[in-house]
Chains A and B, each alone.
Chain A
Amino acid sequence: MEVDDRGVYGQDQRQLILPLTRFSTEREVEDLVNDAYEKLKISGLGAPNMYPIVSEVFGELAMNAVQHSESPIDAYGAIQFYDFQDGGSRFSCAVADGGIGIRRSLERNPQLKPRVRYDWDAVLVAIEERVSGTGDPHRGIGLFGVAEEMRRPGRQTIIHSGQGWLDISEGQQNPPGRTTLFPGTLVFVSVPT
């Protein structure tokens, strides 16, 4: 595939920590996260104490996609550093898949099924502690941990699965909403640095 990028000026390639990358196995996730961490260190961009946060969050999101999405097109992830003209800078991560979505994943757990009738219910339930479609009481830490980490000032998480949408930012959490269909799950996080 060729992209017509005439008139688009090149950016500092150091800012592209992880280009949009396809993955499907836990091993690939472990490799991607460690490669991204090394690239963050080499880049010297942003605050170094954010590198572990970015790596950890991306790793959890990517693992969720591999383990729960059942995506026939695998999963995709990217990490980017943005340096804004107003002086602010951020790390952003996104992971997306074309799988069954959070609602269908969670409703496999009979105890959760009554609570996840709609996609917008499911995105809210998914960030609770120890909630998992597996029914294993020792699972369900990944998205909970990401949400907890992203409640700090200046940080933002957007979860879009099916028709469900949840925006968590700056110590607050808006009610989940109904939105246009995303055929899978997309999670975007943004961290100031």
Chain B
Amino acid sequence: MRVFELYKRPVLVTRDSAHIIGDILGTEYLDNNGELYLDFQGIEAVTPSFIDELIGILESKVANNQEFKVILVNFPTRLTSKYSAIGRGRHIKIDEIQPGQWELSRE
């Protein structure tokens, strides 16, 4: 899923705006391994509040199977302590596989 196509703007700020992804998210976006890829190409900045809400939405939408895994591609920011804290608060582990690529999975 190409996130920029949903918003057409470079900075994602509000918790409400995270629900735009949630509203269209369905199983058709999962690949054969049950993984979801969100491509942030074109997005230049996101607030921690947006990410926090997005993680909550993803967990509720994609978490039917225990193998919850979401890959954020071309993500605009490095994984820092505040984002790790956000993940912990949602019981989601966040790994930065490489610069610009985060993997979300259950703790």
Return A138 CB to nearest CB of chain B, in Å.
6
Count of chain A residues near B, Cβ 8 A? 25
CB under 8 Å from chain B, chain A span 133-160? 137-138, 141-142, 144-145, 148-149
Known: A37-B10, A56-B45, A59-B47. A30 touches B85 (CB 8 A): no
A63 touches B13 (CB 8 A): yes
Q: B11 at interface (Cβ–Cβ under 8 A)?
A: yes
Give the complex CA separation of A29 and B12 in angstroms: 10
Give a binary string over B37-69; 1 marks a CB under 8 Å from any A CB, 0 the rest: 000000011111100110010000000000000
Q: How far is the CB of B58 from chain A (nearest CB, A)?
A: 13
CA A129 – CA B90 in complex, angstroms? 12
Interface of A is mostly: helix
CB distance from A140 to the nearest CB of B (A): 9
Say whether A55 contacts B49, CB under 8 Å.
Answer: no
Answer yes or no: B77 CB below 8 A from chain A CBs: yes
B49 touches A33 (CB 8 A): no
* Chain B stretch 3-25: residues in CB contact (< 8 A) with chain A: 9-11, 13-14, 16-17
Q: How far is the CA of A111 from the CA of B70 in the complex (A)?
A: 34
Q: Tell me which residues across on chain B come within 8 A of A63, comparing CB atoms.
A: 13-14, 47, 49
Could you list which residues of chain B lie within 8 angstroms of chain A, going by C-beta atoms?
9-11, 13-14, 16-17, 44-49, 52-53, 56, 76-77, 80-82, 85-86, 89-90
